[in-house]
């Protein structure tokens, strides 16, 4: 799967830099072309001669070649690559990447890179655990970068903890899995609801919520990437779909979303209900803009919307799956488990608004999945793309 793939290997100043030699050998053995870019600090740990001999390419470190003054174009390099892997990635380099501090060739290449980026942190346990590092890593996740979590073990400082760069063999496996693009949802039809709903008050006003649709769109892309035909029923969001196997049905209100979902679900193998549906709508929609002077104190009478998840749960066949979400501020597990039961779902994805980095308008999420057998799986904070992978991985284990 890595045959012919062009990989930029970014090496920064960590003792784990020696492991880059195993990475190069492993990647080259799999048929990949490897171009090493190293930071000045990286060169203190491993020599460019070793790296260029193993990769069969001159190692790039400076903006200019000292020998002939030729310019190394980070832009061309960024466009050339099928993937960029930064391993080891120190706390300093992660900080620069997170904040766009382009003061060396590696960071400028990272900022120019259009290809997927994989980051394998390596550092002392306390540096890794520091909120500054963790926030920078979350930021990278938010950019869509893939973080290859470090392992636990004895570190260069002889302290024991989390911070050891993931082993080269496993890093290569992760790249392979990425490029394999498993087609385990081929011929499956998936219905996804996403975004907020807007409930009209008058021609210029509505009741809405902060949902950005990012989670639902990431789920749609992930299902399509795995071969499914996706119908995405979405409320008003400013996102676009990129995969050709996603059919978008645009709606505005909960009632429109209900009608579209009920019409589509019978043809689907699974439904994933990610939309933040308004539970109530104004009983009356004024056809003219409501004027302040006519009303004085204003009262808005609300009536309940239909529960899309419960309605789909009621018509669900044996051969279909249904997945719901629960966004809770208190008693997350209890509330989510009761929604799972009430709406006849196969599993429910809980995100708690109390978790930093989870919820609306952010690029990260921290989820817990609860299934019908009562199995509870809690995941760490991840980018919404990676969260989508976890949610769909669960779907794949249940889909027949």
| Tokens linked to 358 | 């989870």
CB of 258 to ligand CTP, least distance (A): 7
Using the rule CB under 6 A, give the single segment among 41-49, 61-69, 114-122, 305-313 that binds ligand CTP: 305-313
CB atoms within 10 A of CB 99: 11
Q: Which of 279, 331, 341, 375 binds ligand CTP (CB under 6 A)?
A: 279
Q: Is 305 in the site for ligand CTP (CB under 6 A)?
A: yes
Task: At 114, list the tokens.
Answer: 């259009």
Count interface residues toward ligand CTP (CB under 6 A).
Answer: 15
How far CA 295 is from CA of 55, 108, 292, 399, in Å, comes to 75, 59, 6, 54
CA distance 157 to 113: 33
Binding range to ligand CTP, per CB under 6 A, among 201-209, 262-270, 323-331, 363-371: 323-331
Mask of contacts with ligand CTP, 339-378, x by CB under 6 A? x---------------------------------------
Residue 325 binds ligand CTP, judged by CB under 6 A = yes
Interaction between residue 309 and ligand CTP (CB under 6 A): yes
Contact pick of 26, 271, 313, 324 for ligand CTP (by CB under 6 A)? 324
Least distance in angstroms from the C-beta of 380 to ligand CTP: 22
Q: Which two tokens stand for residue 204?
A: 């210029």
Q: Over the Cα atoms of the chain, what is R_g?
A: 25
By CB under 6 A, is residue 190 in contact with ligand CTP? no
Of the pair 84, 336, the CB lying nearest ligand CTP is at 336
Minimum gap (Å) between residue 322 Cβ and ligand CTP: 9
Residue with nearest beta carbon to ligand CTP: 308
SS3 of the chain:
CCCCCEEEEEECCCHHHHHHHHHHHHHHHCCCEEEEEECCCHHHCCCHHHHHHHHCCCCECCCECCCCCCECCHHHHHHHCCEEEEEEECHHHHHHHHHCCCCCHHHHHHHHCCCCEEEEECCCHHHHHCHHHHHHHHHHHHCCCEECCCEEEECCCCCEEEEECCCHHHHHHHHHHHHHCCCCCCCCEEEEEECECCEEEECCEEECCCCCCHHHHHHHHHHHHCCCEEEEEECCCCCCCCCCCEEEEECCCHHHHHHHHHHHHHHCCEEEECCECCCEEECCCCCCCCCHHHHCCCCCCEEECCCHHHHHHHHCCCCCEEEEEEEECCCHHHHHHHHHHHCCCCEEEEEECCCCCCCCCCCEECEEEEECCCCEEECCCEEHHHHHHHHHHHHHHHCC
Active site residues: 209
273 lines the binding site for ligand CTP (CB under 6 A) = yes
Q: Note whether 51 binds ligand CTP by CB under 6 A.
A: no
Our measurement of the distance from residue 82's CA atom to the centroid of its chain's CA atoms, rounded to an integer in Å, reads 19
Determine, following the binding rule CB under 6 A, whether residue 277 of this chain makes contact with ligand CTP: yes
The footprint of ligand CTP on residues 243-272 (CB under 6 A) is: 254
Contact criterion met (CB below 8 Å) for 37 and 10: yes
Q: Which two tokens stand for residue 396?
A: 């794949």
Among 23-31, 91-99, 164-172, 273-281, the segment contacting ligand CTP (CB under 6 A): 273-281
Smallest separation, CB 370 to ligand CTP (Å): 12
Q: Which of 59, 113, 326, 387 binds ligand CTP (CB under 6 A)?
A: 326
**Nearest to ligand CTP of 316, 339 (CB atom):** 339
Q: Please count the other Cβ atoms lying within 10 Å of the Cβ belonging to residue 78.
A: 18
Least distance (Å) between residue 320 CB and ligand CTP: 15
Does residue number 307 form part of the binding site for ligand CTP (CB under 6 A)?
yes
Q: How far is the CB of 304 from ligand CTP (least distance, A)?
A: 8
Identify the residue among 171, 308, 370, 395 touching ligand CTP (CB under 6 A).
308
CB of 282 to ligand CTP, least distance (A): 15
**Binding of ligand CTP by 275 (CB under 6 A):** yes
**Interface residue with ligand CTP, options 119, 327, 350, 387 (CB under 6 A):** 327
Point out which span in 207-215, 321-329, 368-376, 385-393 binds ligand CTP (CB under 6 A): 321-329
Binding site for ligand CTP (CB under 6 A): 193, 254, 273, 275, 277, 279, 305, 307-309, 324-327, 339
């Amino acid at each position: 799967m890595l045959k012919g793939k062009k990989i930029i290997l970014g090496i920064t100043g960590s003792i784990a830099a020696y492991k880059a030699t195993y990475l190069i050998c492993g990647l080259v053995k799999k048929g990949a072309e490897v171009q090493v870019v190293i930071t000045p600090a990286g060169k203190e740990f491993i020599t460019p001669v070793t790296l260029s001999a193993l990769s069969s390419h001159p190692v790039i470190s400076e903006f200019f070649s000292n020998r002939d003054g030729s310019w190394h174009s980070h832009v061309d390099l960024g466009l050339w690559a099928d993937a960029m892997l930064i391993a080891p990635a120190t706390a300093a380099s992660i900080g620069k990447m997170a904040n766009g501090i382009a003061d060396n060739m590696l960071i400028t290449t990272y900022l120019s890179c259009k290809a997927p980026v994989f980051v394998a942190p390596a550092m002392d346990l306390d540096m890794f655990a520091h909120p500054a590092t963790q926030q920078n890593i979350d930021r990278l996740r938010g950019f869509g970068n893939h973080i290859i979590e470090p392992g636990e073990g004895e570190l260069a400082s002889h302290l024991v903890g989390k911070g050891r760069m993931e082993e080269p063999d496993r890093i290569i496996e992760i790249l392979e899995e990425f490029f394999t693009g498993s087609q385990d949802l081929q011929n499956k039809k998936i219905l996804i609801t996403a975004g907020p709903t807007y409930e009209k008050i008058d021609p210029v006003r509505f009741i809405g919520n902060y949902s950005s649709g990012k989670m639902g769109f990431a789920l749609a892309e992930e299902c399509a990437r795995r071969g499914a035909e996706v119908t995405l029923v979405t409320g008003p969001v400013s996102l676009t779909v990129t995969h050709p196997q996603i059919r978008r049905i645009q709606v505005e209100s909960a009632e429109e979303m209900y009608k579209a979902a009920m019409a589509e679900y019978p043809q689907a193998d699974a439904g994933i209900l990610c939309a933040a549906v308004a539970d109530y709508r104004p009983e009356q929609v004024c056809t003219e803009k409501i004027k302040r002077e006519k009303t004085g104190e204003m009262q808005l009478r609300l009536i309940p919307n239909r529960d899309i998840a419960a309605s789909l749960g009621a018509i669900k066949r044996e051969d279909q799956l249904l997945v719901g979400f629960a966004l809770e501020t208190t008693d997350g597990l209890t509330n989510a488990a009761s929604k799972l039961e009430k709406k006849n779902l196969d599993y429910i994805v809980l995100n708690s608004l109390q978790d930093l980095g989870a919820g609306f308008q952010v690029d990260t999420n921290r989820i817990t999945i609860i299934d019908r057998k009562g199995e509870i799986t809690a995941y760490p904070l991840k980018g919404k793309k990676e969260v989508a992978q976890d949610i769909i991985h669960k779907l794949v284990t249940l889909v027949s």
